[in-house]
Amino acid sequence: MDPSIQIRLPIEGMTCASCVARVEKALKAVPGVMGAEVNLATETATVMLAASARPQSLVEAVHKAGYEARLGPAPLAPATDRSWWPVAAGAVLSLPLLLPMVIQPLGVAWSLPGWVQLLLATPVQFVLGARFYRAGWKALLARTGNMDLLVALGTSAAYGLSVYTLIRHWGHGMAHYYFEASAVVITLVLLGKWLEGRAKRQTTEAIRALQALRPERARVRRDGREVELPLEALAVGDAIVVRPAERIAADGKVLEGRTHVDESLITGESLPVAKGPEDRVTGGSMNGEGLIVVRATAVGAQSVLARIIELVESAQAHKAPIQRLVDRVSAVFVPVVVAIAAATFLAWGLAAGQWEQALLNAVAVLVIACPCALGLATPAAVMAGTGVAAKYGVLIKDAEALEIAHGVRVVAFDKTGTLTLGRPTLVVLEAADGDRAAALALAAAVQSGSEHPLAKAVVAAAKKEALPVPVAEEVTVAPGRGVQAKVGGRRLAVGSSRWMQELGVDTSPLDERRVAVERQGQTASWLADLSGAPRIIALLGIGDELKPEAAEAVAELARRHIETVMLTGDSRVVADAIAARVGIHSVRAEILPEDKARVMQELRQGHGVVAMVGDGINDAPALAAADIGFAMGSGTDAAMHAAGVTLMRGDPRLVAAAIDISRRTYAKIRQNLFWAFVYNVVGIPLAALGLLNPVVAGAAMALSSVSVVTNALLLKRWKPGA
């Protein structure tokens, strides 16, 4: 199978959902394209392309469809916009045309001469409105339609009727013209697009804020002196000097100095975090009061900040599943509207003989129809929701994860590193023969080949006591069970009580002590000699403190009527003790990593949508098997890759926060789609019945898309726990 690559193309010229459908159709027709998604709000296309295919063919396909595209990163919309002048020019030229309509209810009958109205309306129609003609013509060439075509047809009809009337009645007194309809509609649509653009720029503030965290240069120690380098020149291993109030240029570990670091824009942590030698720091965070030297461990695209930006961009670029309904509607929207306008014109003209009124009603139908509101309803809410979530340390991988999370009914928590701090320490070591030091040295030798937190606790204890640790050979890891190794010619094993039973090891000499250890919430592990007849060497009791926020996180989920379950490979006694302290009533203990995926299926059948929260490699299968996975940012890359949501601070309270922003975002999507559909379902018939003049219809069209984006922007006020 041909490997694929993902390409993101900036697309220029799209104005509505019909444009999105046309660009997607054009891209999917390119040989080698495996999938394509186009986002109106971000004005980008995300394409999965076979590695053997030609990327330039994508640009050519988009151009043939009537739009512009280019290879390379999509430029972020600038924070400020100077494209207001067409709106201002349109307003200056249109207001004199609109004034007679405003003062007529006051009993003042006044209007400009026809030739003056022609002079005012013509530049609006053909200069300021040229964009609608260009885009509409391209749509016609592609045998489709879009919002621009509707505006061009509607305003051209009103303008043409006015010119016809002017010529017909030239020199025969005053006649009624419709120049104000064409000019004001174009001005209002331009105003709407400008306001829409301003609102859309606000949805990208999260990305813009994250990108602004990257310093342009870094101060590095090389060859005994400090030199300034551009960020692109940094390499792993560089010693970066960070002065007070400077941003840290790359991920790394502190070599020298002590300080407090503000990580709020990256992790959502509101308070500065104390940092000293060997502490990890994240590129983009702000150094506090002290000068520090940081050894770079990740730079460029491998940094945490780069990955965060990539996740947020990915979430904002992909479609939510609910968008499929919109895509089906938008595919036929413009042709249906044109057909309704034609039927309106013929019905009024043939039935009443009022051809001028018939034309105006048809114009109103064309103008009030707003496919852009449908196109923006979902992506605007997704962009706002994922953006504000990222601000508080909740990274949502894609729109599908956002949509799924709103329906979560049960949350399954891993124990170690998720509900606990993930920094276990050896609390108890009881040797069967009384030689504690020898037993600890042997256990550390076996565990030195494992990356499990419990193993690290044993190794750390041996180092702390400065014990000589022998070299282990033939190390084999049994996931969820323990580790075997050959030490000094002896086959040794360190692992759980369950594994000891499977290996035929008699643990009865220390079973009573094991029960006491587990009742205190400590994990019991055994060191056994498998050479000859299996026998117990020592019992190890390893403790891990609960996260201070764990109980609050469970309580918050309970308040939202979400059930919680704890999944752990630990013994039933330990699991029950920990669960009781945090308020979890359902516990699945003594389960292997591969069994967690099966438990996910069982929970799904009994409860509905299931979420899994974990941090380790052993949690990856369960995170992938759940309807949606929540990975702790402090955990492994494997866990974060398998999860749909990453919690940057490793704070379990963010699970409830992620579900909350998901529910609020989904509610905004539903609100936006409801009003977008209702607007068109109600507005088009009213226009067809002659109850709306083109000016009012134009104002309604302009405001419809603006209102959808503005409603989505209300999500920016969200805060966790609010």
Burial 205-239 (b: 16+ CB within 10 A, else e): bbbeebeebbbeebbbeeeeeeeebeeeebeeebb
- Cα–Cα distance, 329 to 667 (Å, whole number): 20
User: Is 576 known to be catalytic?
Assistant: no
User: Distances in Å between the alpha carbon of 181 and those of 65, 98, 581, 705?
Assistant: 31, 8, 70, 20
Q: Which amino acid is at 111?
A: S
Helices 371-391 and 323-352: crossing angle in degrees, nearest 10, is 150
Q: Of 414, 529, 544, 660, which is the active-site residue?
A: 414
Contacts of 554 (CB under 8 A, 6+ apart): 413, 564, 582, 583, 584, 652
What's the CA gap between 519 and 541, in Å, rounded? 11
Q: What is the DSSP code (8-state) at residue 32?
A: T
Number of alpha carbons in the 13 Å side-chain half-sphere of residue 645: 36
**Helices marked H in 471-567:** 497-502, 511-519, 550-559
Q: Reduced to 3 states, what is the DSSP secondary structure of residue 613? A: strand
Rounded-to-integer distance, Cα 19 and Cα 374, Å: 12
In eight-state DSSP terms, residue 508 is G
CA distance 342 to 361: 10
Residue pointed to by tokens 């964009």: 131
User: Smallest Cα–Cα separation from 439: which of 529, 363, 511?
Assistant: 529
**What CA–CA distance (Å, rounded) separates 459 from 524?**
16
What is the three-class DSSP state of 556?
helix
Q: Both tokens of residue 693?
A: 């003049």
Instruction: Report whether 715 contacts 664 (CB < 8 A).
Output: yes
- Tokens representing residue 690 in the block: 């002659």
Q: Which residues are catalytic?
A: 414
